[in-house]
Structure formats: structure tokens, C-alpha cells
Structure 1
Amino acid sequence: MPALLAWVALTGMTGCATDSAAGRHFAFQEGGTPPGCLQDCGGFGLWEKRDDFQLLQQLAGLEEDAWHEAGEELEPEEAQALWEALARTGTSLQSFGPRRSLLFVLRQVRTRAEDMPYAELLQRLRSFHFLVVMRPDGYLVSALTGRPLQRMGMGRVELREGRLMAGHFEVGAFYRDKGGVFYTVDDSLSRPGVMVGELGLERDWFNAALDGGGDALGEMAQALAQLVDDPIQSLQGLEQLPSAVAALIASSPEYFARYSALPLQEQIREAARLSTHLVMIYGSAAGTATRLGTAGARLPVLSLSAEGALAIEQVVVPVGYAAAALGTGAGAVYVLMESPKAPSEGAQTSSAAKGAGGGFKPFTEGNFRENLARLTGKMPEGAHAHHVFSQQFAKDFRKAGINVNDPKFGAWWERASHLKKAVEYNRRWKKFLGDNPSFEQILQFGRELGGEFGFQVNF
């Protein structure tokens, strides 16, 4: 009898293998009460009469004073405020699913840059009732409630083709649950695709009952600790990490210089931090590999500061670059992975431009020309590696947050024209900087000078 009572208590917490999809997920019903639940469902206060969006904010870990009010349309600025509030809170395993879902919805609102009526917001959440997401500890969980369903792939997270995988499921990705059978979904999350697995009858009920209170970052670090065997001190060593994370570190030379000097455990934790960010926001730490085919395309490119802070900048990316696309549609960002395989016609390729993964040397004056060749994939004959932001005013630019030796702030300028117009060019910068311009004004003036003096900028 005691054993039977223990079984009843545990299955009451975790569900039964024959439960319907709605029962397993505690799909939110109108009024916020899960199926079979009477009054407060155990007294935890999670199932008060709130709509899906209010519950999602709560389960994602937002403090109540930061919640968006029920019934009010959601403006892009308010979506940004919710995003920032989430960033100030830690991600637990229990909140992983709801947090991933809330960030997905907020990114949609921010991307479309117009107010979203509350009724439409609730309509969009309906598809999440039947979605699950893979956590970094190998558990498949409800995308709305975070409730663990089953450990997949024996709970082992592996690196396959640059992706963090648990069985056939990618960490951070959404899947459609159709009665315990799981399918990939399209960008809208509504149309099921290929079947990738199903819920086993032998539910891992004991571990599921105890699971959920841990830290998602800690679990990601544990997963990566199984993959990283040696300290990462070269671009080749980055191959031990998910592909987008590796490319992000390789394309940020100042950060890589610091990262490569860290002890192994700190390297793993930093990689776990970056992986968790990419998974939570974009659903993957690998991205979708693509080769950019439009010359002069201005794209949002993800980069790292020397201290490891993530930043998104609009960058003119030369044609032929390989990149990892994170996210889809208008909300996608890109991580540059390597330079083009072949130079443009009439250009001479330097040996540096063939470097592994398109990595850069430290951003110094001595490395500027070689780094610019790596960035553009060419070293044109008869051209100078020009500092768009004049070295003469490096201190002024540094105050504005610009390293003049960053190759993205370089340009190839025909030698004779450069020598003839250099004095006038610097005079224009001196006059402009006298008005204490903002960062954006400096960037825009640099672009204007490029058009006026006849060279192409890369930012």
C-alpha cells in the first residue's frame, strides 16, 4: 500500500503515458484553468483566472510588476521593455519552455514594428498549446508551461553537424505534438513537417517529478563539458563548439584573444552563456548555413565586444560570404562564418584571406591591411587599405566607441586618388568632429564620405 500511494502521488505530479496531449501539457483553457483542475491546483497560485499571455509572463519568470496588462495592445516599445525585463532574470529549467515561447512572440512584435492588438496576441499563442521544446538537459517540455514530458536520447546532449542534439531533437527548437508523436514545424510554428520521435510508454516519471529546479545555463555548461576536451587556443579548437557560437567567437578577434587565454572551465562556461542566449532567442546555437548571394547587401550581423557583450550591427556584407542565419524572416540575424572561396575578377587574393574560418588578427594598425583582405576576400592591386575613420583622430573615435583599426571600418581606395585627396579628407573629419557628433552620425558621415571620395564602405 505505501508503494501504491507513492506511485499515485508521483503520477499525479507527472501525468500518465496514456494521457492526451492536452492533459500532458496543461494546455491553457479559457479562464486559465488546466483540465481536471479544481480551484487553485495545489495552492501554488499558477492557475488563477488569467489568459494565456498573462500566464506565459508568469511562468517565464517575469516579476508581476513588469507584466503587460491584459487587454492592452502590445506596442514594439513595450515588447522591448518585456524583453529587457526577461534579460534581468535568470533562466531556470522550469521556465525554459515558457521563456523560449515568450521571447519568440516578443521578437515577432519587435520585428513587425507596429502595435499588436491583444486579441491577435492571444490568437498567436493558440499554436503554442500543441508545441514542445527541447531543453539543454535533454528533456522535451511543454512550450507553454515548461512541464517535462520525457527525457530524449537518454538525456545525452551531443554535437552533430554543429548542432546541440538530444536524440533526434535540437536543443531550443519547437516541435508539434500530435497525440504523443512529434513533428518539426515551419517558421510560423503551425504546419507540422517530418516526424522526429514519439513519447515512450515507459515515462521517466521519477526523474521528471524531481526535475525543473536547476539552472539552464548550468545544464548547458554540463552538456558542453562533455564535448570540449581541450582548451580552445586556435580557430581549429572552436570546432568543438556549436557552429554559430564558434563562428561568433572567430569573427570577434578582440574577444577571441581574451577567450583563448581563459582556463578550460571558464571557456566552457562562456560558450554555454553564448549558446544559451542564441538558443533562447533564436532557437539554435548552430543556425542555418547560407552563402550570401547579393552584392552589397546590408544585413543585421551578430558580433561580440572584447568583453563578450552581444551586439547587432547593420553591415554591408560582400557577396559570397558564408553565414549562419539565426531566426527566420525579417527577424533573422547573421553570424559571418568565412570569406568567399574565390576573389572577384581582377583582384589578388592574399594568403591571409584563405585563413581558417575567415578569422582575423588583432585589430592593430600593423594588421589592418591583412584583416581588410580577410573581410573583403580580396587585396586589389594599386589600392590602399584606407581607414574610413582617420587615424589622425583615433582618440576622438575611440571615445565614440569606434576602433579605427577594425577592418569593417576599412575600405580599398585607389592609390593615386588616396594620396591626392588625403589632406582634404582629414580636413573634413576635423571640421565634422568639432560639433561633437553622435555614434550614428559618425557612421553616417563615414558612409557619405565614401560616396563622395569614391570608395565603398563595409558598414
Structure 2
Amino acid sequence: MVPSDLSQDGGGGGFWAERDDFQLLQQSAGLEEDSWHEAGEELETEDAQALWEALARTGTTLQSFGPGRSLAFVLRQVRTQDEDVPYAELLQRLRPFRFLVVMRPDGYLVSALTGRPLQRMWKGRVELRGGRLMVGTFEVGAFYRDKGGVFYTVDDSLSQPGAMVGELGLERDWFNAALDGGGDALGEMAQALAHFVNDPIRSLEGLEQLPSAVAALIASSPDYFARYSALPVQEQIREAARLATHLMMLYGSAAGTATRIGTAGTKLPVLSLSAEGALAIEQVAVPVGATAAAVGTGAGAVYVLMESTKDPGEGGGAQASGTAKGAGGGFKPFVEGNFRENLARLTGRMPEDAHAHHVFPRALEKNFKEAGINIHDPRFGTWWERSSHLKKAHDYTQRWREFLFRRPPPSFEQILQFGRELAREYGFQVNY
């Protein structure tokens, strides 16, 4: 059975009646018909892997963006669970997608199953907030539950609606929406990123102009970063758009949630870039204390390693962020005594007229630790001109004290964002 709205879409009821939800999804995602999984056949893990590879090779248009996200979610679920799925159960798993929508890179909410555009929200204005690409209250690439034109967040299983995030306007732009969607999702993504990339990216600080997971991925691959930083700004934007589109399509977000590894011998699927920009995933044993950016949710998430706890030259630690390698050596343990040296390795300089400043003040270290932040991580450090630092340090710490002790307590992302805002106000740069 297919969604009721399909009989009202262009193409004719007879055409759609020939295809069940999974066949329709493969078609809507843009897969060539000779790569489709046959109707009625059990979806084995090898089949899911083959479809995943076909999807990764398929160019993403605006029309296929929503269904591509849905197909990637279903296939990732099968591959992660490593269990064959009977076809009847596969169709059952697709039922929730009839009521889900996805935010596209051009600002349209679209059907997750067919890609049919519903309405352009907030005039399609894409903003970079907290490392995430947002259109109003909607994150690009995320799923939302549609309840009669009112939209809600959903949990990792996509079954339980959460908070309301918006609704369709009174004037639904059906005609223009129906004409939209034939463009290139990569092109739309590049146009969105062009609003945020104001200067050529030549340093780690410059990566702040990109979505957080894209920035972490580039920074964690020193050979690629050396090539990327030498590109003209237009090519940098297109490359970042390619990576962002890939992450959103297959994992649902271009932003990563920082996770501190607390168990010895933890193995994670780690995403990396070759010097030429090819993406790869491999299982990596991550050392205790390392931080990884989780892209995606649940068991299907992948990780970008962001820091190391030990200088690789001393042995016993993985180079979990190529940023240190690219800046002239590995990091030492992230403790106060190594802070200035690690910051110098991260930034590639040690100015004589500046202090090594903790973006998150040492006087409030306990509070930041409770929020999951190691203040001695060099990414959370910066060079602050000496005389200005001496004059303003007390006032700066007081601003943080007032911010942290408000109710309700600020979230991890809000703390990071407040640090960026204070940096602009006090006249120094941040490295995260």
C-alpha cells in the first residue's frame, strides 16, 4: 500500500499502484532501477550493504533528498542490527515514514517517503547555529512528525513525537512547491554555506565557518586539510557542501555531538578523509579520555575523533585529531601544566605579547567539567593580548559565573555558543 497523498500527486494512480512503499522509496531516492531490491524478497544484510553503496554513488537532487534520507535510515538499521529482514517486516518498518517530513537544504519541508514538497519555511533562510544548519526551528536533514500540518520532533526510533517545532502557514505554497525540487542538493548546500564562509579557510580557526561535524572531519584529516586550505574559497565551499550533503543524507546531520570516551578498549565506527577527500569508515579502538563527535543517533551513529590524550610520539595514544599533527606535533595530556604548549601546537605559534587564555575560566573548572568540558583542551584556549587580558579577566570570569548559575542551567551547546559570543565581545578568537 502507498500513502494516500500519492494518488493526488502528478503521475497517475495506476503508475503508483504498481509499487509498494519500499519500491517507491528506492525510486524516489533516485536509485537506478537495475539496483533496486526486488519486491517480496527478504532483505539480507548483504542486500542492504549493496543498496547502501548504490545510494552513496547516486547523485542527490532536491527531489531525492528526503527519500534518500529515509532509505539511508532503513538500510543503516538493517546493517547495524546485522539481521536479515523479511519483506513484510520491511514494509511495516516503513509505515512511520508516511507521517514524517524532512527539512531540505533549500528550506522546504518535504515528504520523507516521496520527496513531495509541502512548504518553504521561514522563506528558506538557512542559518548556522551551534554548528548546525537550521531553517528557523528545523534542522536541515532531520526528521519531523507531521500531524495535520503541525510538526514535532521524533525520537531515535522515529515513533514517539516530542516537542512541537512549527506548523504550515495559512497560505500553503502548493503550486510553487510542486514546481520546485528539480535542482541539485549539492548546489543548494553550497549556496547556503556561501553565506557563512566569509574568508578563505587557511587555519583551524577558519573552520569555525562550517557546520561542526564537517569542520571536525576536515580538521581530523591533516593531509586533506593541507590540500583543502590551499584551495580557492569557491572550491572550499563546494567541497564543504559535498561533505555536508553526504553526512546529512547518510547520517541525518552535519553537526556532531561531543562524546567523551570513558571505557577502555571502546571500538567505534570512525569516519575519516583521505588526502584526496574520499570518505572511509573503519572500526577503531578509541583511548579513554578521547573526545569523538557523534554524527547521527543511536546504534547507527558514526564518529569523528577530535582529540588525543597522549602525544603519539610518546606511544600509547591514537592521533584522534590530525589538527595537532598538522600544527607541528601531537598533543600532550590535556592538563593545566601542558595548556600553553598544547595551544602553541594547535595554533602553530606562541606570541610573546599574549597570554594563553582559557575560554572557560579556571575558577569555574568544576562547573565546566560537570557539563562535559575539559577546560585544558587546547581547542578551548586562545591567545589574548597581555594588557587587555590583565584588565578584563575578572570581568570576563564574572560574566561566565552569571551565565552558568542561571536557571535552568545552560546546555553544552549553549555554553559553547556563549564562549563564542564573549570572544567576539572581548576581541579574541576561539578554536572550536
Q: Mark yes or no: TM-score above 0.5.
A: yes
Q: SS of the counterpart of 1:149?
A: strand
1:359 to 306, 311, 323: 323
Displacement of 1:51 in angstroms is 0.9
The CA deviation string for residues 224-244 of structure 1, in whole angstroms up to 9 with x for no partner, is 001100000000000000001
Q: SS of the counterpart of 2:93?
A: helix
1:161 and 2:150 aligned: no
What corresponds to 2:77 in structure 1? Answer: 108
> 1: distance between equivalents of 2:125 and 2:188?
11
> 1: distance between equivalents of 2:94 and 2:228?
39
What corresponds to 2:240 in structure 1? Answer: 271
> 2: distance between equivalents of 1:62 and 1:36?
19
The CA deviation string for residues 20-62 of structure 1, in whole angstroms up to 9 with x for no partner, is xxxxxxxxxx2x4745838x95459751322110111111111
The CA deviation string for residues 68-117 of structure 1, in whole angstroms up to 9 with x for no partner, is 11111001111111112222321110111111101110111111112111
Contact 2:6 2:16 in 1 (8 A): no
What corresponds to 2:229 in structure 1? Answer: 260
1:245 to 197, 214, 226: 214
Q: SS of the counterpart of 2:123?
A: helix
What corresponds to 2:20 in structure 1? Answer: 51
1:209 and 2:178 aligned: yes
What corresponds to 1:401 in structure 2? Answer: none
Matched to 1:130, the amino acid is F
> 1: distance between equivalents of 2:107 and 2:5?
27
> 2: distance between equivalents of 1:86 and 1:33?
23
Displacement of 1:154 in angstroms is 1.6
1:337 and 2:301 aligned: no
> 1: distance between equivalents of 2:117 and 2:286?
42
The 5 Å alignment of 1:307-318 reads 307-318=276-287
Classify 1:205/1:221 alpha carbon distance in 2 versus 1 (closer, same or farther; 3 Å).
same
1:305 to 274, 279, 283: 274
Matched to 2:253, the amino acid is S
What corresponds to 2:140 in structure 1? Answer: 171
Q: Normalising to structure 2: TM-score of the pair?
A: 0.72
The 5 Å alignment of 1:395-414 reads none
Greater C-alpha radius of gyration: 1
What corresponds to 1:99 in structure 2? Answer: 68
Between the two proteins, what is the percent identity of the paired residues? 79
1:142 and 2:111 aligned: yes
> 1: distance between equivalents of 2:6 and 2:17?
14
Matched to 2:302, the amino acid is V
Displacement of 1:216 in angstroms is 0.4
Q: SS of the counterpart of 1:104?
A: helix
> 1: distance between equivalents of 2:179 and 2:194?
23
> 1: distance between equivalents of 2:25 and 2:94?
9
Matched to 1:37, the amino acid is S
Structure 2: where are the runs of 5+ without partners? 336-432
How many matched pairs? 332
Classify 1:109/1:296 alpha carbon distance in 2 versus 1 (closer, same or farther; 3 Å).
same
Q: Normalising to structure 1: TM-score of the pair?
A: 0.68
Contact 1:33 1:49 in 2 (8 A): no
Q: SS of the counterpart of 1:150?
A: strand
Matched to 2:133, the amino acid is L
Contact 1:163 1:242 in 2 (8 A): yes
What corresponds to 2:290 in structure 1? Answer: 321
What corresponds to 2:261 in structure 1? Answer: 292
What corresponds to 1:220 in structure 2? Answer: 189
> 2: distance between equivalents of 1:253 and 1:218?
26
The CA deviation string for residues 132-165 of structure 1, in whole angstroms up to 9 with x for no partner, is 0000011110000101111112201110000000
Displacement of 1:249 in angstroms is 0.4
What corresponds to 1:86 in structure 2? Answer: 55
> 2: distance between equivalents of 1:270 and 1:303?
15
The 5 Å alignment of 1:357-436 reads 359-362=323-326, 370-371=329-330, 373=331
Q: SS of the counterpart of 1:295?
A: coil
> 2: distance between equivalents of 1:154 and 1:35?
24
Classify 1:297/1:227 alpha carbon distance in 2 versus 1 (closer, same or farther; 3 Å).
same
Contact 1:33 1:48 in 2 (8 A): no
> 2: distance between equivalents of 1:206 and 1:37?
17
What corresponds to 2:7 in structure 1? Answer: 37
Contact 1:46 1:55 in 2 (8 A): no
Displacement of 1:121 in angstroms is 0.3
Classify 1:198/1:214 alpha carbon distance in 2 versus 1 (closer, same or farther; 3 Å).
same
> 2: distance between equivalents of 1:295 and 1:84?
32
Classify 1:206/1:66 alpha carbon distance in 2 versus 1 (closer, same or farther; 3 Å).
same
